[in-house]
Amino acid sequence: MIFQSLSKRQKLILSILVIGAVCALVVSTIFLVRHLKSSTNHETCIDNNCTSVISENVYQSFCDDYKTFACPDVISSSSTTQRSVVSDDIISSLLKNTSYPDDSHFKNTVNYYTSCIDSPNASIQVIENEVIKLIISLFNGWYLTTDFEKIPFIVKNSLLEDKIFSLTGLLLPLLLQSGSTSIFSLKLIKDDNLHIHISPGSLEAFDAVTSSVSDGENTSEGEQLFKYMKRIGPQKDKKKFIQEAFGLHSEIKSVIQPSGSDSVVTIEKLTEICPVIDWNLLFESVFNEIKYDSYKNLKIIVYNEDSLKRICDKHTQFMNTEQGRRNLHSMTVISFLFNMRNILNRYFNEFYPANVQMSANKPTNCIDEVKENFRWTIEKHHKYSSISESTENQVREMFKQLKTTFISSLSSKSWSSEDEKQKSINLANEYELSIITSKSLSAADRERRDFIFNNEISEDDYLMNVYHSQKTKFLKSIKKPLDTDMEPDAFSFIPYISSSVEDKRIKVSAGLLNPPYLEEGYSMSEKYGTIGWFIGRQLMHEVNNNKKTDAPENSQFACNSPDATDFDAQLCCLQKQEDFKRYNEKDLRSLSADINGLMLSFKTYTGRGDLQGKNSFYTSFAKMMCTSDSTDVIHTKLKSADSVYKF
């Protein structure tokens, strides 16, 4: 009736509205069906133990990998940028800084870096002259030539005279470079008691060449070695000297006894065994470098006295003639250069045989060398090795709140036994937070004790600087048994988070509390989305997931077990997902820690009463998670104390 009373124009408008409403209903139904169908692709979480994905205004729970839901939106967003901080670039910029004119240690660091980056541009002739200069400086001459005109600084033959030539003085630079000579090797060892240990020496330079000569070749070992040495300095008479040095090598090898036992000896007894070495002078020279005056009270242990005596007697025999002394000098210089083969092979491809293995774990660029040699100077000055007091206080408060939320969560979960629950609660309570900075590592004090600063570092003498670096490594190895202050695992500006059940500490580096992980101006929601998640997952990992894995048939989280906890149920839930069926228990526990750490951080944040920052919490987490930033931190394997080259 009403419809009939309407005008034609009104009827048309009403018809259009009705048709539009029907279409909207159809479209909505289609979207609803598709959504429900899509939802069935993900198994619903058991209780609320699985990941929480916070999108615009929706809080969803899936028993699945949160990356599946977090990353696509972020990656497709035009506002997302790859956030990365290249630590080496920061160090390079630091070394170009001239604002530390009164800091001699920093100046030495810059000099080393300058000499290193300039060395590839140097001509071969310049490098040859640097090698010769180095040998003349350390060994009082270059006896691989008699060309006095080309090398005006060649030591006169008078220095080969018996009264002047000192085998101790000759071997000392080689000992300080590598810890070994043709007679002996020196170490300081701490077992029950601290002692000086004298063991067999090294003839590696000559042994390596001997093994490189192929069967059937007519080239003698001496000629082979000459081939690799020919680029260094003048060639006149060098071949003859090298062949004679190789003869000494053979004679020394002939008296070495491969097996033996340790013997405790006095300094007097050691001098009786090997009088060709001035042991008092040698020990004084080494231990004065590390400022250790109590070496005279240390026990001396010699491995295989008889073999040491035979080798020393052979060296005494060489010392009785001028030719023998010259050949000892040549052999020592060749061994010294062999220990620098990683550097020299950059300039002379045939310096040593291609199949002679290079020393492993050596720096591959100038920044690596600087980090290795001037660790504490870099640590002290790097802009990401420290944080503000306000940031430190805020992170400590976040940790406190996260731990409180975690303990509350543990109390509310289902457990196989009350004892097991209380054990986990007590364990969580014991954990404290350590923030690792240059200050906490006492970088300034450690820098003052660094041995490389015993030497003058020149900006235009790279090879001498390399020797100072090698010398420093040996002195550190001698000092290590005396030092109760252990070297930390990594630079504080390297972003990492680590922990262990043993020390009950979660360690967060200053690098993790700087960009790109903690940007200036971040809101609390953004801080919980990044740093809160890192700390939360670490707590979860240590308290709940860092357990010994079982064989599948004895798995503690067997899905049909009536004693399964909520955490075990979550592992079962994850294991049912197609993407995770190939995961072992350790990997599943790690994923579980990631998931629950995110939930813990979000729950702690929302517990503050601020619900306006849900979106920024999610955005900061997703931007960090969906780039390499989080992976770099989570999968950082901190170096051991003995692995000094990889950071």
User: Over the stretch 275-292, which tens digit does the pLDDT of each residue have?
Assistant: 999 999 999 999 999 999
Confidence of residue 502 (pLDDT cuts 50, 70, 90): confident
Confidence of residue 151 (pLDDT cuts 50, 70, 90): very low
Q: Going by C-beta distance under 8 Å and a sequence separation of 6 or more, which residues neighbour residue 32?
A: none
137-143-146 Cα angle (round to 5): 120
pLDDT beyond 70 at 639:
no
CA gap 469, 112 in Å, rounded: 10
DSSP reduced 3-state for 146: coil
| 342 contacts 178 by C-beta, under 8 angstroms | no
Question: What's residue 62's pLDDT?
Answer: 44
CA gap 423, 445 in Å, rounded: 41
Averaged pLDDT, 50-78 = 49
Confidence of residue 112 (pLDDT cuts 50, 70, 90): very high
In the chain, the N- to C-terminal Cα span, in Å, equals 85
385-502-643 Cα angle (round to 5): 50
Handedness of CA 342, 343, 346, 350 (dihedral sign): negative
Strand 299-303 to strand 262-265: parallel, antiparallel, or no bridges (unpaired)? antiparallel
pLDDT beyond 60 at 529:
yes
- How many Cα atoms sit within 13 Å of 172 on the Cβ side? 21
Residue that the structure tokens 């040698």 belong to: 282
Question: What's residue 59's pLDDT?
Answer: 35
Burial of 497 (0-12, 13-18, 19+ CB in 10 A): buried
Q: Is 47 left (phi over 0), alpha (psi -120 to 50) or beta?
A: left
Q: Going by C-beta distance under 8 Å and a sequence separation of 6 or more, which residues neighbour residue 263?
A: 301, 302, 303, 305
| 474 contacts 145 by C-beta, under 8 angstroms | no
Confidence of residue 10 (pLDDT cuts 50, 70, 90): low
- Residue 489 CA, chain-centre distance (Å), reads 7
Q: Helix 322-338 crosses helix 167-178 at what angle (to 10 degrees)?
A: 10
Alpha helix ranges (H) inside 61-139? 67-76, 87-95, 104-118, 124-139
Q: Helix 418-430 crosses helix 389-412 at what angle (to 10 degrees)?
A: 180
pLDDT beyond 60 at 378:
yes
Confidence of residue 358 (pLDDT cuts 50, 70, 90): low
Give the distance between the most distant pair of CA atoms in the chain. 135
| 314 contacts 252 by C-beta, under 8 angstroms | yes
Q: Which helix (H) or strand (E) holds 8?
A: helix 8-39
DSSP 8-state symbol, 274: -
Question: What's residue 485's pLDDT?
Answer: 72
Query: Over pLDDT 70: what percentage of the chain?
Result: 68
Question: What's residue 38's pLDDT?
Answer: 36
pLDDT beyond 60 at 84:
no
CA gap 345, 452 in Å, rounded: 24
DSSP reduced 3-state for 61: strand
CA gap 460, 445 in Å, rounded: 28
pTM of the shown model: 0.78
CA gap 272, 261 in Å, rounded: 18
Residue 154 main-chain phi, psi, to 5 deg: -60, 140
**Which one is predicted more confidently, 211 or 154?**
211
88: nearest Cα among 364, 496, 414: 364
Q: Going by C-beta distance under 8 Å and a sequence separation of 6 or more, which residues neighbour residue 467?
A: 134, 138, 173, 177, 340
CA gap 350, 346 in Å, rounded: 10
- How many Cα atoms sit within 13 Å of 549 on the Cβ side? 11
Averaged pLDDT, 35-54 = 36
405: nearest Cα among 534, 538, 536, 507: 536
CA gap 600, 87 in Å, rounded: 31
Averaged pLDDT, 377-389 = 94
Query: Tokens for 301?
Result: 């242990």
Task: Count other Cβ atoms within 10 Å, centred on residue 15.
Answer: 11
CA gap 363, 442 in Å, rounded: 25
- Residue-wise pLDDT for 173-216, tens only, equals 999 999 999 999 999 999 888 999 999 999 988 887 765 544 44
Handedness of CA 192, 194, 196, 197 (dihedral sign): positive
pLDDT beyond 50 at 60:
no
CA gap 494, 50 in Å, rounded: 31
Q: Going by C-beta distance under 8 Å and a sequence separation of 6 or more, which residues neighbour residue 85?
A: 384, 514, 515, 516
CA gap 64, 368 in Å, rounded: 41
Question: What's residue 570's pLDDT?
Answer: 72
Task: Set out the domains of the chain in order of their start, with CATH numbers.
Answer: 122-362 (1.10.1380.10), 388-436+515-634 (3.40.390.10)
CA gap 148, 330 in Å, rounded: 17
CA gap 257, 198 in Å, rounded: 15
Question: What's residue 619's pLDDT?
Answer: 81
**Which one is predicted more confidently, 495 or 312?**
312
Q: Is 617 left (phi over 0), alpha (psi -120 to 50) or beta?
A: alpha
